[in-house]
């Protein structure tokens, strides 16, 4: 009933996308946690509805790490199209997918294809961690930031009682990641981090976070163009 009342005044909807996968010494839910939280913090002052983050995504290269399930690309693309069809039928017309996992980018083609078939609607895709403002802050602090490094080490992605290594891990050759079978990936990465420092002071990561929230909020407010 609350959603019905919401649709009487607004048709915007934020859909966070995550993945459940190894993140070295951080939670396996990092991508789900971050995509949902950045969406909520961005949308709440605007009164815009945010769905719970879709937890499962595309991460076949981490299959040798237990607790890292993956969908097939065709399954994922079909899932996103089904979500859009269903939600559009209910009256939503502007969709912002806030993606928290690089592997999910294969789903962008499905969203763009759906958009092309539904001119009365708008469907946007945003990789929150790769936005220009976020990347500018990261580059100013420490550009050696990657999967399971300090870049994803927020107070809300840490595990109680787990200490982070203090050394800087050499950066892995990520160009090989998708060419190797999962066991070879695990041999290459070891603990799962792609390299860099495992943690930095909270004042650094919170600067990154603030930039991410601001970028998502800007898209919710002004990213739609003509509909």
Q: Which two tokens stand for residue 115?
A: 């958009």
**pLDDT of 176:** 77
**pLDDT of 227:** 44
| Domains in the chain: ranges and CATH | 2-222 (3.40.50.10310)
- Global confidence as pTM: 0.96
Contacts of 100 (CB under 8 A, 6+ apart): 16, 17, 18, 19, 30, 31, 32, 34, 35, 38, 53, 127, 128, 129
% the chain with pLDDT above 90 = 95
Q: How far apart are CA 14 and CA 55, in angstroms?
A: 15
Taking only the tens place, the pLDDT of each residue in 120-174 is 999 999 999 999 999 999 999 999 999 999 999 999 999 999 999 999 999 988 8
Q: What average pLDDT does range 182-188 have in this prediction?
A: 95
Taking only the tens place, the pLDDT of each residue in 27-51 is 999 999 999 999 999 999 999 999 9
């Amino acid at each position: 009933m609350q959603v019905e009342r919401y649709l009487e005044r607004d048709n915007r909807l934020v859909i966070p996308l995550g993945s459940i996968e190894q993140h070295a010494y951080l939670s396996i839910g990092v991508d789900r946690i971050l995509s949902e939280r950045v969406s909520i913090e961005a949308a709440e002052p605007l009164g815009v509805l945010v769905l719970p983050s879709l937890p499962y995504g595309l991460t076949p290269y981490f299959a040798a790490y237990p607790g890292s399930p993956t969908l097939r690309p065709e399954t994922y693309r079909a899932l996103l199209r089904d979500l859009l069809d269903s939600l559009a039928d209910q009256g939503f017309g502007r969709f912002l997918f806030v993606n928290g996992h690089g592997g999910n980018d294969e789903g962008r083609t499905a969203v763009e294809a759906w958009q092309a078939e539904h001119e009365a609607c708008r469907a946007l895709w945003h990789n929150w961690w790769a936005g220009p403002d976020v990347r500018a802050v990261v580059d100013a602090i420490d550009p050696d930031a990657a999967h399971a490094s300090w870049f994803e080490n927020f107070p809300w992605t840490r595990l109680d009682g787990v200490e982070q290594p203090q050394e800087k891990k050499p950066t892995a050759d990520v160009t090989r990641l998708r060419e190797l079978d999962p066991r070879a990936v695990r041999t290459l990465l070891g603990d799962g981090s792609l390299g860099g420092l495992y943690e930095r002071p909270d004042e650094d990561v919170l600067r990154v976070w603030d930039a991410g929230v601001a970028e998502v909020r800007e898209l919710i407010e002004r990213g739609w163009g003509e509909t």
